[in-house]
Structure 1
Amino acid sequence: MTATIQPLSLLRQVGLHTGRQRTRLLADRAALVGVVLAPILYFVGFYVPLQGAMRAQGLDYAQYIGPALVAQSCIFTAMASASAMAEDSKAGLLRRVASMPVSRWGPLLGRLVVDVGCGLVGAVAAVAIAALVGFRFATLTGVLGFALVVALFTAALCLLFVAVALRAKDPAGAAEALLVPQLVMIMVSTAFIPADGFPGWLRPVVTWQPVSVVLDALRGFCTGAPSATALMATAGWCVLLGGLGVLSCARAPRGVA
């Protein structure tokens, strides 16, 4: 007999898995330090050597790099989520859940709730670092819109990266599989230099890839309101990336996701 999963039951399952993941994250001091340390490292690595050259071109680099630090934090959060889910899979947690009359989505959704929270914490840390050199928000509405984009982008990336990780043989394999894609996503984007700084043939790719589109929306919220094009492109990429992750997890064997 197949048990029927009631909506309230699923919510309780998600709550239990959320509590587990939260406890696990708080106990992992290295991960917590990484949430704050990563923006600092990227700030030192890019702002310090580039701010003079960018100022000479009339660009307020503190205002420009703040959202880039946030986007990088979202990517790191997604990579950590993927590794953690791969560890759960290797440890047999997902197989155990699959053998019980509960929803297979409980662990994933519980993980996602914690990841979005972690992404927002990382965003606060990144914004605080950038604020030390002059980064500011123009309006309170911009802050709320900024946070919403961060939450959506973090969720979409986590769903996609977790789907990749669940097909890796081990957590280390998951990290290796995602290392190059995440580097390409951030480096071949407008994160640290404008699209004009890339070769002409590459600019369309740089301009319309997901990180650059999200950065357009984030920077727009910093100064007031982003363009409708930036908002629609951001929503489209988040739906596409998150949808691919959900479909991939749904097609996985029940003992995997």
Structure 2
Amino acid sequence: MTRTEVRRHSLALESCLFAGRLFAKWRRHPGVPVQALLFPTVLLITYNLLVGKSMAMMTGTDNLDALVPMCAVAGGMFGAIGAAIAIPNERSGGLLTRFWTLPVHRASALTGRLLAEATRTLVGSAVVTAVGVALGLRFTGGWLAVVPYLLVPVFIAVAFATFVTALALRSEGTALFMWLGTSSIGLVFASPGLAPVEMFPGWLRPFVEHQPMASVIETMRGLSTGELTAAPALVTAGWVVAIMAVFLPLAVRGYRAAARGE
């Protein structure tokens, strides 16, 4: 076959094919779906049943409009960590090198991974939101807000997956993922999704108010209540843009180096 006879597909199609590979892998080894779907759903149901009534008695609200966003974003984050655990093995086993030698766009393996993360997070957020609605969450600002409501965790998960992938491509063991998991748990349980900010100890409130999940939760809460303001949405967008601007080039360079065995 001559060079002119080799016809490449579009980057979008090749990204879908690489994303499909991950979906098939997750079906055979469902650790990632469990982390992305089961954990946040169980957390939402358990916390609401055990603490919701007490929270309503103390604050006048069950905090469900913040708890659901927290669980949706947490599912995306933990799913990204679970998916990235396989990257060091794929690098050491030569799989990334084989991808690099295929007649496909160089970026398709990485964009396929991010596409898979986005799709998984969208499905997970829809499941968590549906459970939240069953528990009492209402979109008082109108049901049209559901679409951007579900997309916010997707953007966050893609940015976080880019960050995790950039680190995983340079990782030599599991210590990194233990650190990432512990840090993510800390962000989840020290966020306005767990309880109103004023209920946290005074020394912890500045962190709870300004950590990355705070603006995300406030943005999603505003969408569900119809009281969205520009400030949290802009801060959320700023976090996504900043993370992607810093770590996407690092992920691209890390993938290139890993594929070349450097």
Q: CA deviation at 1:143?
A: 0.4
- 1:168-193 Cα offsets, whole Å, 9 max, x none, are 114x3442231222122212221211
- Provide structure 2 residue ranges, at least 5 long, that are not aligned to the other structure: none
Q: State whether structure 2 residue 147 is matched by structure 1 residue 144.
A: yes
- 1:168-223 Cα offsets, whole Å, 9 max, x none, are 114x3442231222122212221211111223333222112111110000111111
Tell me what 1:83 maps to.
85
Assess, with a 3 A threshold, how the Cα gap between structure 1 residues 114 and 206 changes in structure 2: closer, same or farther: same
| Residue aligned with 2:194, SS | coil
What is the TM-score with the length of structure 1 in the denominator?
0.87
| Residue aligned with 2:171, SS | coil
Q: CA deviation at 1:137?
A: 1.8
Counterpart of 1:74 (choices 73, 76, 80) is 76
Q: How many residues align?
A: 252
Q: Give identity over the alignment, percent.
A: 27
The code of the aligned residue for 2:32 comes to: A
* Matched ranges for 1:1-40 at <5 A: 9-40=10-41
CA-atom RMSD in angstroms: 2.4
- Does the aligned pair in 1 maintain the 2:19–2:113 contact within 8 Å? yes
- 1:40-81 Cα offsets, whole Å, 9 max, x none, are 331244223321221111113333322121121111222123
What is the TM-score with the length of structure 2 in the denominator?
0.85
- Provide structure 1 residue ranges, at least 5 long, that are not aligned to the other structure: none
How far apart are the structure 2 equivalents of 1:184 and 1:177? 11
Counterpart of 1:211 (choices 205, 210, 213) is 213
How far apart are the structure 1 equivalents of 2:116 and 2:257? 22
Tell me what 1:231 maps to.
233
| Residue aligned with 1:137, SS | coil
- Does the aligned pair in 1 maintain the 2:118–2:157 contact within 8 Å? yes
- Does the aligned pair in 2 maintain the 1:98–1:255 contact within 8 Å? no
| Residue aligned with 2:204, SS | helix
* Matched ranges for 1:1-257 at <5 A: 9-56=10-57, 57-99=59-101, 102-138=104-140, 139-170=142-173, 172-252=174-254, 254-256=256-258
